[in-house]
């Protein structure tokens, strides 16, 4: 087994920091809190190593930054239990069998509509809201097609779960969002934009769902041990 890559280091760092912050959120014992804070500093050292900085001063500054950021976000009791954030994505198809994609204004990449889950909304309601906000298209959720660990898949630097819905377009007109999307459009299979993120794992699944074919919910297979690298998405 070779040296871990930066993605593994970042993932291990986030896992350790979550354990330490949860411990700090639940413990009043001084001895335990000191140990959890020590684990937090180790996690920060691992994260700084993932950044592969050449300058020792810059490395120490990065380490201190992560410790301060994590310490500032520690709650007490249940609010202090660290869990992954939740994002909602929508695979939207039309009657022509095309797929709805947006070009992200911040990165320029193309992807299905997606956004953070909102308190007070169910996951499917978030999917409908995000599609309308980002594209102007009205849609109806049909089924859940994937539950993905974004950090394990490599498209998130922190713990994040993605719930991906297949939705059917029922109305609306294409338009961009002034802050989030620079372009939107319908695309045929085999003719997606050149810079489309993650197409290798969701592309075939998306078009199968749009065609109305039976699709199983995709998820990553359990690892043994759990810190092993690799997405290993179950078919």
pLDDT band, very low/low/confident/very high, at 3 (cuts 50, 70, 90) = low
CB 173 within 8 A of CB 132: no
Q: Report the predicted TM-score, pTM, of the whole model to 2 decimal places.
A: 0.78
Q: Look at the domain 85-234 and name its fold.
A: Nucleoside Triphosphate Pyrophosphohydrolase (3.90.79)
Environment class of 114 (CB within 10 Å of its CB; exposed 0-12, middle 13-18, buried 19+): buried
Rounded to a whole number of angstroms, the CA Rg of the chain reads 20
The number of angstroms, rounded, from the C-alpha of 218 to the middle of its chain's C-alpha atoms is 15
CA-closest candidate to residue 190, choices 181, 182, 199, 198:
199
Render pLDDT for 93-131 as a digit per residue (tens, 0 to 9): 999 999 999 999 989 999 999 999 998 999 999 999 999
Token look-up 């992560």 returns: 66
Strand 160-172 with 85-93, pairing: parallel
pLDDT band, very low/low/confident/very high, at 141 (cuts 50, 70, 90) = very high
pLDDT attached to residue 49: 82
Mean pLDDT of 191-212: 93
Residues 6+ positions from 122 with CB-CB distance below 8 Å = none
Residues 6+ positions from 64 with CB-CB distance below 8 Å = 44
| Residue 93: both structure tokens together | 């198809």
Render pLDDT for 54-101 as a digit per residue (tens, 0 to 9): 566 566 777 777 788 878 778 777 777 888 999 999 999 999 999 999
Give residue limits of the domains in the chain. 6-80, 85-234
**Secondary structure class of 127 (helix, strand, coil):** helix
The number of angstroms, rounded, from the C-alpha of 233 to the middle of its chain's C-alpha atoms is 15
pLDDT attached to residue 182: 95
pLDDT attached to residue 59: 66
CB 123 within 8 A of CB 163: yes
The maximal CA–CA distance of the chain, rounded, in angstroms, is 64
What is the spatial distance between Cα 233 and Cα 235, in angstroms, rounded to a whole number? 6
What per-residue string of b and e applies to 184-199 under the rule 16 or more CB within 10 Å gives b? bebeeeeebbeebbbe
Cα→Cα distances 177→49, 130, 181, 187, 224, Å: 38, 10, 5, 19, 43
Cα→Cα distances 12→75, 130, 173, 228, Å: 22, 31, 44, 10
Cis peptide leading into residue 166 (ω within 30°): no
Mean pLDDT of 183-209: 94
pLDDT attached to residue 97: 96
């Amino acid at each position: 087994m070779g040296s871990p890559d930066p993605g593994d280091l970042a993932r291990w760092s986030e896992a350790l920091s979550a354990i330490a912050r949860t411990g700090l959120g639940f413990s009043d014992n001084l001895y335990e809190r000191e140990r959890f804070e020590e684990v937090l500093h180790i996690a920060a050292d691992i994260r700084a190593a993932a950044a592969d900085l050449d300058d020792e001063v810059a490395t120490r500054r990065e380490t201190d930054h992560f410790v301060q950021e994590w310490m500032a976000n520690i709650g007490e009791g249940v609010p202090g239990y660290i869990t992954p954030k939740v994002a909602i994505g929508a695979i939207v198809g039309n009657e022509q069998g095309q797929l709805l994609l947006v070009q992200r204004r911040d990165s320029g990449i193309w992807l299905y509509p997606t956004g953070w889950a909102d308190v007070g909304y169910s996951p499917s309601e978030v999917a409908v809201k995000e599609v309308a906000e980002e594209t102007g298209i009205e849609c109806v959720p049909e089924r859940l097609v994937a539950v993905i660990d974004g950090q394990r898949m490599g498209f998130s630097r922190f713990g994040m779960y993605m719930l991906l819905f297949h939705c059917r377009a029922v109305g609306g007109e294409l338009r961009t969002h002034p802050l989030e999307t620079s372009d939107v459009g319908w695309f045929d299979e085999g003719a997606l934009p050149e810079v489309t993120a993650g197409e290798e794992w969701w592309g075939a699944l998306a078009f199968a769902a749009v065609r109305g074919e039976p699709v199983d919910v995709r998820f990553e297979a359990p690892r043994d041990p759990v810190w092993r690298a690799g997405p290993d998405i179950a078919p």
